[in-house]
Amino acid sequence: MKAARDARSAAVVINAGSRRGAAPELAVDTLRKAGVPISAVHRVLSGADLAGTLDRALADGHDLIVVGGGDGTVSYAAGRVAGSNVVLGVLPLGTANDFARTLEIPNNLAEACATVAEGKVVDIDLGRANGEPFLNVASVGLSVAVTEALSPRLKRYIGPLAYGIATLRAYARHKPFRARLEFPEGDHEPLELEDLLQVAVGNGRHYGGGNTVSPTAGIDDHTLDIYAILAGPLREHVSIARLLKDGSFIEHDRVYHLTTRRVRLVTDQPLPVNLDGEIATTTPTDFTVQRNAVHVVVPQSSTSALFDGPGA
């Protein structure tokens, strides 16, 4: 399939619990008017509902599944369709919508619907953490506490600003940790790190409401970007924070950065791992990249990814 108009049958799955997912009828009507061949519409309220609904949509033979929700919802859906010929359409209805930002999918609902109807199909990489999927970033440390401090009420009422408030709350309670990075393919020597604020493994380009993993990171480059931020004085973290938007923070002297295709993260005690805003596994964690695993509709003008095929 090169475009949504080539689909035989489309299913729409809307996470009604996402920040802008309470009224899915508008999205469905807009998609139908644009010529998307919708034959099933599902409104889900929980992660358990999402898993069953996606499995049912796949079993029913839809070759296009349009998912409306935040990054966690879209990542889960990507993990379900990975490795198949099913195409994923994305309606960014969450708070951060970093996956949509990476692929240049409009945040405006009408424009996102138009993208599904008129866009092109590309294939993108999918990150895996102990087998669990992530599209943007997986992380250990401060970001986990930020996720725990992000209440649905806070996200719904103040949107992306909620991340800044949650970060301040989490930073005040953060305890530094130790970690070891191991590289099974031998492309780097093992790295022992102490007094850490955060370790992150990026598959995509954006995370955290518009921050950039690194200046060269991409969701179609078949590599993972790893960065580790050392704990330290507040003034150092403020200087790092100012560089998060464009990714140049990786050049700061309290930041380690490297790229690889596979890495194992080990900590002294098991720590929770945040995958695109959802706490989904714990350390020790094996991170891998599944190349060209997911077919996604993006705007015709997007240069973020190509269609290479599974063997590329």
Per-residue pLDDT at 148 exceeds 80: no
Same domain, 82 and 229: no
The residue segments making up the domain with residue 14 are 4-123
- 81 lies in a domain? yes
- 296 lies in a domain? no
Tens digits of residue pLDDT in 18-63: 656 556 688 899 999 988 999 999 999 877 789 999 999 999 999 9
- 196 lies in a domain? yes
pLDDT for residue 82: 97
pLDDT for residue 153: 64
Q: What contacts 220, CB < 8 A, 6 or more positions away?
A: 122, 123, 124, 125, 292, 304, 305, 306, 308
- 301 lies in a domain? no
123, 156, 187 - which closes a domain: 123
Same domain, 141 and 269: yes
- 297 lies in a domain? no
pLDDT for residue 204: 97
Same domain, 197 and 260: yes
Per-residue pLDDT at 310 exceeds 80: no
At residue 149 the predicted structure's pLDDT band, cuts being 50, 70 and 90, is low
How confident is the prediction for the chain on average, in pLDDT? 90
- 198 lies in a domain? yes
pLDDT for residue 6: 82
The total number of structural domains in the chain stands at 2
CATH label of the domain that carries residue 247:
2.60.200.40
- 310 lies in a domain? no
Same domain, 157 and 32: no
Q: Which residue has the higher pLDDT, 4 or 58?
A: 58
Same domain, 137 and 280: yes
Tens digits of residue pLDDT in 252-301: 999 999 999 999 999 999 999 999 988 999 999 999 999 999 999 999 99
Asked whether 144 and 272 are in contact (CB, 8 A), the reply is: yes
- 111 lies in a domain? yes
Same domain, 102 and 246: no
Same domain, 162 and 266: yes
Same domain, 106 and 137: no
Q: What is the pTM of this model?
A: 0.91
pLDDT for residue 27: 86
Lowest mean pLDDT among 20-29, 91-100, 135-144, 298-307: 20-29
